[in-house]
Structure 1
Amino acid sequence: MRLSDCHSFHDFRRMAQARLPGPIFDYIDGAADDEVTYRRNTAAFETCQLVPNVLRGVGEIDMSVTVMGQKLAMPVYCSPTALQRLFHHEGERAVAAAAGKHGTMFGVSSLGTVSLEEARRISSGPQVYQFYFHKDRGLNRAMMERAKQAGIEVMMLTVDSITGGNRERDKRTGFSIPFRLTLAGMMQFAVKPAWAINYLTHESFKLPQLDGHVDMGGGALSISRYFTEMLDPCLSWDDVAAMVREWGGQFCLKGVMSVDDAKRAVEIGCTGIVLSNHGGRQLDGSCSAFDQLAEIVDAVGDRIDVIMDGGVQRGTHVLKALSLGAKAVGLGRYYLFPLAAAGQPGVERALDLMRSEIERDMRLMGCASIDQLTRSNLRYA
C-alpha cells in the first residue's frame, strides 16, 4: 500500500499495521479493558446529524479559529502523545513540521522523544506542553521552568492519568520501555524486520523531557509503572491552582469530563479545558467527550475555551463538535497512524485530507466561516 492510496483514517491505520510490529501497533491502537469507550468515542458522532443550508453564496472559506489566545489556520490541532519515535524515527519532528506547514498547533508530551526546544525550532506555530504531575514537586517546577524558557505558549496538564489504564493488549505482548517482551511479542517483531532496521540505524531512543530525572535504562520501567510510581495520585485542585499561578499564562486541563470539574477549572483561572477520556485508554465505560460537549459548553463556554478530543476521524466529526461550541478539536490516532506509516509526508497528507474535508463540508453546509456553525445545523437521531 502506498501513501497516495490513503484517503481516510482507516487507510492510514491499515498502512501503519502493515509496517509496525504488533506490540507497537497495539500500543497506538489499543485502549483500556474491553475498549468500549474507545469505540464509543467515534460512534458518538453518529448519533448526531448535520442539517445543511443551501444557496448561501459561499465563496472563500475561513476555517481559522482562535483558542487560548492562539490563532490556528484550521480548527484541529495535533494533540501531544507519548513515544512518537517508536512509531517512526522522525517522531515529534515530523509532527511539528507538518503542523507548522498547516498553520496549526501541536504538542510535545512529558514522555515525548524529541525535546521541547528542538520541536520549537522546527515549527513557529503554537506549541503545547502536555505535562504530568509528579510526586516530586521539584521536578514539576523544573519542567515548567524549562517550558517557559523554550517558549511554550500553552501548558496542558493531563488530569485523567493519575494511574495507568488497564491496557490488556500491552500486557499480552510485554510492551515496555525498555522492551521486556513476551515470546509472542518477540515473534511479532521478528516478522517486521524493516521497522527494527530503521529503529537501530537512527539515534538511540530517549525521553528528553525526563533526562536527569528518570532512569529509563535500568530494568524494565514500563509505561504503567511510570504512571503508578512517579505520578502523584493525590493531585488536588489546590495543587493545580498553584501551578496555574506559577505558570502565569495560558493553562489548560486535559481530561475534564464533568460540568462540576469544568466549573472548578474556571474558578482556579484556567484558560482552557480539553474534554477527553484519553482515547479510551484510561477508564473504560466512561462517556465520550462529544457526549459531554453541549452540557459543558452551556455551563462554562462563555468563560473558558472548551476543546475536545477522542474518536475524530472525519471533517464532519469536527464540524459537529464546532457546532456544539467547541473552539477546536484535538487529533491523536488520526495523525499517529500516518506518522507510523510514512513519517512527515504521512502526517502532512493526513492534515491535507482533513483540511480538504472541512472545507468541502463547510461549503456543503452553507457556512463560510466557523462562527456560522451553530446548533441549528444539528439534529439528533
Structure 2
Amino acid sequence: MDSRYPSIEWLAERAKKRMPGFAYDYLTGGCFSEVNLARNTSEIRDVQLQPHYLRDFKGASQETTLFGKTYDAPFGIAPVGLQGLMWPKSCEILAKAAKQHNIPFCLSTVGTASIETIAEITEGDFWFQLYHPAEDELRDKLLERAWAAGCKTLVILADTPTFAYRPKEIRNGLSIPPRMTARNIMQMMGRPRWVWEQLLAGKPEFQTMKPYIPKGLNMKHLGLFMNKTFSGRLTEAKIKPLRDKWKGNLVIKGIVNEEDANKAIALGVDGMIVSNHGGRQLDSGESTIKPLNKLAKALKGKTTLLMDGGIRSGVDIASTVASGADFTFLGRAPMFGACAMGAKGGDQALQILKRQLQQVMEQVGCERVEDLPSHLIEQ
C-alpha cells in the first residue's frame, strides 16, 4: 500500500488535483442542495460499537458468504455510470482489483466497459446492474449477454424513477451523453495527465449499449436516444418477467421501506440493496443507514439485505454490517482510488478498506463478520 495515501479521504484529495472539475463534480455530487449526500455518511458515523476486551479472541476473519459464494471481505464495488469520463479505463481498473481481492464487482448498463470486457477481466465472476429498457427485446438481449458472459447476479434499479435535478451537472453540461463547453475544455487543459490518458484510452462510450445505438448520431440525438431507451420506474409488472427469465440471483437496489421490501420478497427476489442512489435522487429522503436498521429488524431471516450509499471507510463498513446489512457496496471510494492513482488505485482503495475493517474487528473483539451486530450499541 502506498503510504502517501493511507485513507479514502487522501485519495479523494489527490483525485481532485488530477481530474477536471466537471469530472470531480460528477463523481462527488448529489442532487439539489446535497443534503442527503452528506447525511448518508454522517449518520453512518453516528453508529457506535461496543468493544469486549477481556474475552478470549482467536483473530478476525472478514470472509463472507453471499448467495453461495465466499468473498474475502463483506463489501463489493458498486455500479457507477460513466467511470471512463472520470478517469480513463477506471471501470476495467476496478474490475481487475475486485477480482484480485475476491470481492464482487457490479457493472452498470451505462458503464464505460462492455459486459464481455468485464467478464474477461473477472473470469465471469461479476454482477450486472440493469437500467430497465423500455423495449422487451433490448431487455432480453442484455440479459442473454450477461448470462452468456457468466454473470449470476442481476441487480435491478428501483431508486431512479425520474431524472434527478443535479445543479452541478446542469452547470457543467453533464447530460447523457456529456457535452463539452468552453468552461470544461479550460478545466481539461489544466489536467494534462487526464487528457493524455483519455487520448490513449479513446473517448468514453457506453460500451455495453454500443451495439444498439444507431451510428452517426450527433451528441444531441444520442442523448435523446438514451433517454427514450430506458424506462426508469420499476413496477411489479416489470419485475415478474425479469424473475421468470433470469435464472440467477435477482437483487433489487433502492429499497427503503417495509412495504416495498415485502412486495419484492413476494415477487421472489433473492436480496435487496438499501440505497438512495448515493444521495443523487431525493434530497429530502432518509439516509441509507436508518431504513437499513428498520428493515433488518422487520425482515430478519426473510431475505438477504445489502446496503450502499455513504460508506467511505472500513469503519463505515463495520458500522453498516453491525446495523443489519449482510453485505455492503461502495461506489465513490474505489473510484477515488482509480482517479487518484490510475492502474494502482483500485488495489490501494481496497487495501485501505480491508485494513481498516480488520483493525475495527480486532479492536472490538469480533472474530466473524456475522457477529458484528452483537457489538452494536443501540441508540
TM-score range, shorter chain: over 0.9
Q: Quick one: distance in 2 between partners of 1:79 and 1:130? A: 9
Q: CA deviation at 1:124?
A: 3.9
* TM-superposition CA deviations, 1:143-194 (whole Å, max 9, x none): 0011110110200011211322111101111124554233322221222222
2:149 is equivalent to residue 154 of structure 1: no
Q: CA deviation at 1:375?
A: 4.5
Amino acid at match of 2:308: D
Q: Quick one: distance in 1 between partners of 2:166 and 2:42? A: 21
- TM-score w.r.t. length of structure 1: 0.94
Native 8 Å contact 1:164 1:228 kept in 2: no
Q: CA deviation at 1:376?
A: 4.7
Amino acid at match of 2:298: A
Q: CA deviation at 1:343?
A: 2.2
Native 8 Å contact 1:66 1:72 kept in 2: yes
What is the 5 A alignment of 1:1-381?
4-124=3-123, 126-176=125-175, 178-215=177-214, 218-221=217-220, 228-233=227-232, 235-380=234-379
The DSSP-based 3-state class of the residue aligned with 1:71 is: strand
* TM-superposition CA deviations, 1:201-220 (whole Å, max 9, x none): 22343222102222486232
Amino acid at match of 2:342: G
- TM-score w.r.t. length of structure 2: 0.94
Q: Quick one: distance in 2 between partners of 1:222 and 1:261? A: 36
Native 8 Å contact 2:8 2:352 kept in 1: no
* TM-superposition CA deviations, 1:279-315 (whole Å, max 9, x none): 1111111111111112111222312100001111122
Q: Quick one: distance in 1 between partners of 2:143 and 2:363? A: 44
Amino acid at match of 2:339: A
Amino acid at match of 1:338: G
Change (3 A) 1:215 1:286: farther
Q: CA deviation at 1:319?
A: 1.2
Native 8 Å contact 1:88 1:340 kept in 2: yes
Task: Indicate the larger mover: 184-193 or 31-40.
Answer: 184-193
Amino acid at match of 1:32: C
Q: Quick one: distance in 2 between partners of 1:360 and 1:262? A: 33
Change (3 A) 1:347 1:72: same
Amino acid at match of 1:154: T
The DSSP-based 3-state class of the residue aligned with 2:129 is: strand
Native 8 Å contact 1:132 1:159 kept in 2: no
Task: Indicate the larger mover: 282-291 or 265-274.
Answer: 282-291
Q: CA deviation at 1:331?
A: 0.6
Q: Quick one: distance in 2 between partners of 1:224 and 1:316? A: 40
* TM-superposition CA deviations, 1:20-70 (whole Å, max 9, x none): 011111110111010001000001113221111112232332111112333
The DSSP-based 3-state class of the residue aligned with 1:311 is: coil
Change (3 A) 1:215 1:43: farther
Task: Indicate the larger mover: 205-214 or 276-285.
Answer: 205-214
Q: Quick one: distance in 1 between partners of 2:376 and 2:177? A: 49
Change (3 A) 1:228 1:287: farther
Native 8 Å contact 2:160 2:233 kept in 1: no
Q: Quick one: distance in 1 between partners of 2:233 and 2:339? A: 35
Backbone CA RMSD of aligned residues? 2.1
Native 8 Å contact 1:159 1:253 kept in 2: yes
The DSSP-based 3-state class of the residue aligned with 1:130 is: strand
Native 8 Å contact 2:51 2:375 kept in 1: no
Q: Quick one: distance in 1 between partners of 2:188 and 2:65? A: 43
Q: Quick one: distance in 2 between partners of 1:223 and 1:306? A: 37
Amino acid at match of 1:326: A
Change (3 A) 1:47 1:227: farther
Amino acid at match of 1:261: D
Number of aligned residue pairs: give it. Answer: 379
The DSSP-based 3-state class of the residue aligned with 2:306 is: strand
Native 8 Å contact 1:309 1:329 kept in 2: yes
* TM-superposition CA deviations, 1:299-344 (whole Å, max 9, x none): 2231210000111112221111111221111011010111111123
Q: Quick one: distance in 2 between partners of 1:365 and 1:22? A: 40
Amino acid at match of 1:140: R
Q: CA deviation at 1:230?
A: 2.5
Change (3 A) 1:150 1:125: closer
* TM-superposition CA deviations, 1:215-252 (whole Å, max 9, x none): 48623259986774332245411211210111022000
Q: Quick one: distance in 2 between partners of 1:221 and 1:291? A: 40
Change (3 A) 1:233 1:319: closer
Amino acid at match of 1:301: K
Percentage identity across paired residues of the two chains: 27
Native 8 Å contact 1:308 1:329 kept in 2: yes
Q: Quick one: distance in 1 between partners of 2:374 and 2:226? A: 39
Residue ranges of structure 2 left out of the alignment (5+ in a row):
none
The DSSP-based 3-state class of the residue aligned with 1:164 is: coil
